[in-house]
Amino acid sequence: MITVTLLSFLPYKLNLICNFIKGKQREPIEEGGFEMKKRWSFMAMIRPLFVVLLVTAMACLVLLSSNPQSAPPARASSQTETDGYYKHDGVSNQSTTSRSEDMLLGSLLSPDLDEHSCMSRYQSGLYRKTSPHNPSTYLVSKLRNYEALHKRCGPNTLLYNKSVEQLRTNHSTDQLECNYVIWTPLGGLGNRMLTLASTFLYALLTGRVLLVDHATDFVDLFCEPFPGSSWVLPSNFPIESLNSFDVDSKMSYGYLMKHNLISEDPKTWSEMLPSFVYVHLESTYIWDMYHQLFFCDDSHFVLSKINWLLLKSDNYFLPGLFMLSTFENELSRMFPSRETVFHHLSRYLFQPGNSVWELAMKYYHSYVAMANQTVGIQIRDFPWSLMSKEDRFNQIMDCTLKENILPHVTQHSRKTTYLNTDEMGSKAILVISLYKDYYDRMKSYYARSTHVGQHVNVYQPSHEEAQQLKNQSHNEKALAEIVLLSFSDVLVTSAWSTFGYVSYNFAGVKPWILLSSKVSKEVHPPCRRVTTMDPCFHTPPSINCKTKRRSKTKLTGAHIKQCEDVEEGIKLVD
């Protein structure tokens, strides 16, 4: 056990050593790209070191573990915001136990997973800031119970086969031990991660098993999250073309309710209900009151009797679950702090697969790691925006200079103001955008020296020029960029952007959001700091569950507020 922990930790240590050596001989690299040729070979460098270190470390470990008196020292990561990344010297002082707890994100992750198949699981805790938010013990126990359920009911188990068999009878039964919710992908990577986490929470609340209908561009992006099983729906699943279910589907819950084909009557037996129902939560659900019934309590008595649910959404519908009294008690035990629901769920579910992790690590260590502070700026351009790229860049500079996120430059030549560069520390600006334009502008802005003589480097890992929805390599780069952003100390993200929501929740950082306007070229203020981290539910329901009619009043609730970036959206607050 201890050896395993150590082994997983070693590559990181070696990174540090390599960086240390590398740092002495390296000039700041200006251009950056995932595809850039490496100037040195990381693997060639560490191979001989690895053997030596392994032996040394084993020896250290025997010494350490035989000394029960050595009290676990305080956490290494008690840094201030400007203090930069995970500090190297602090690490060596932690006991293996507390270190392995860090790696499991305060017990959020199961200790039973194989770490070699998923490097990020054990390493990301070392690069991201330690979360100041601990998962509740109740959430942790729910997750462990869920993992056991998933293992019992996972694909190709006896119980799974039995449930699949039930599909052929066209009706549900209460005889089954395993009931399922199948998630189907829709929209870009950010949307998918938000809906998958929402669906997973629904599974946790309803005792269902989550299976994922893998689109071809989604394979291997993430590690399998549940030990000893898979979350991928087997390809021989009897219902075909799951992604073709839509707003008009006759098997949708809305359609069945509208046409009185099923009843909310609590006396309804399982046998009177179909074996399979489709829940339509794509943004278009808002136009049909019957689809919106999903956000009314009565529906969940009926739905709980149906063996299989298929769910499709492009919306972070999770806050809607908090509006149901059915789940209120469970949710408040699982999440005493509502502002960190997605923060915990995303860190639990989404461990980037090895190829994405390697892509991110390579870039990070080649360019970003040496800076004292990293500022991540994520810029999403929406087609409806009236702003030109120049307007947008001006908005970014307005925001970051005003909020003291980035330093001013001097009008004089480079020679003038050199105060104490070391004391100021250096800054890396990570520009994440589909376009090269913003990077070019930022770089030419910081070609001048800064007022205070601080060193600023600008990086952009990729610029794909257009979003592609069905391209694995494109998605891998996008996820690697989310990972890189999540290592930032300070984040500036874009209004409306699900990619941004995911990045700052991974990071556990409250960002400044660059506001957008659909009616104006100018935005005042240029940005706003979010008050809570949880993402925005862009299209919340507008239904009065008592009258089953459209409700004109805005959703209110003690724990719900309007989003900073989307007027009609809602988010969770404490």
Ligand X SMILES: *[C@@H]1O[C@H](CO)[C@@H](O)[C@H](O)[C@H]1NC(C)=O
Which residues are near ligand X by CB under 6 A?
73, 84, 89, 93, 156-158, 161, 169-170, 236, 372, 422-423, 425, 464, 468, 471, 473-474, 477
Euclidean distance between CA atoms 39 and 30, whole angstroms = 13
Angle between helix 189-206 and helix 498-507 axes, rounded to 10 deg: 60
Q: Which residues lie closer than 8 Å to 535 by C-beta, 6 or more apart?
A: 194, 316, 342, 498, 501, 502, 505, 571
> Judged by CB, which is closer to ligand X: 167, or 205?
167
How far apart are CB 93 and ligand X at their closest, in Å?
Answer: 4
d(CA 369, CA 386) in angstroms, rounded, equals 36
- Least distance from ligand X to the Cβ atom of residue 2, Å: 19
CB of 434 to ligand X, least distance (A): 11
Q: Least distance from C-beta 524 to ligand X, angstroms?
A: 34
| 371 versus 536: smaller Cβ distance to ligand X | 371
* Complex with ligand X: residue 468 or 551, whichever CB lies closer: 468
Please report where in the chains the tokens 């949880």 appear, as a residue: 534
Give the nearest distance from C-beta 195 to ligand X in angstroms. 23
Q: In this structure, how many other beta carbons lie within 10 angstroms of the beta carbon of residue 88?
A: 15
234: which 2 tokens? 């087997």
Report the SS3 class of residue 550: strand
Of the pair 336, 425, the CB lying nearest ligand X is at: 425
Q: Evaluate whether 200 touches 455 at the Cβ level (below 8 Å).
A: no
Closest separation between CB of residue 218 and ligand X, Å? 14
69 or 547, CB closer to ligand X? 69
Give the other-Cβ count within 10 Å of 82's Cβ. 12
Nearest CB to ligand X, comparing residues 83 and 298: 83
Paired strand residues for 277: 309
At its nearest, how many Å lie between ligand X and the CB of residue 421?
9
End-to-end CA distance of the chain: 38
Q: How far is the CB of 448 from ligand X (least distance, A)?
A: 21
- Nearest residue (CB) to ligand X, 297 versus 464: 464
SS (H, E, C) 231-276: CECCCCCCCCCHHHCCCCCCCEHHHHHHCCCCCCCCCCCHHHCCCE
Phi, psi values for residue 572, rounded to 5°:
-85, 140
Strand partners for 376: 430, 491
Judged by beta carbon, residue 3 or residue 161, the one nearer ligand X is 161
Nearer residue to ligand X within complex by CB, 374 or 505 = 374
How many CB atoms within 10 Å of residue 541?
Answer: 24
CB of 442: closest distance to ligand X in angstroms?
Answer: 21
Q: How many residues make up the chain in this entry?
A: 574
Closer to ligand X by CB, 27 or 423: give it: 423
DSSP symbols for 191-210: HHHHHHHHHHHHHHHHTPEE
Angle among Cα 468, 481, 396 to the nearest 5 degrees reads 95
Instruction: Indicate the residue whose CB is closest to ligand X.
Output: 425
Per DSSP, 84 falls in state -
Least distance (Å) between residue 475 CB and ligand X: 8
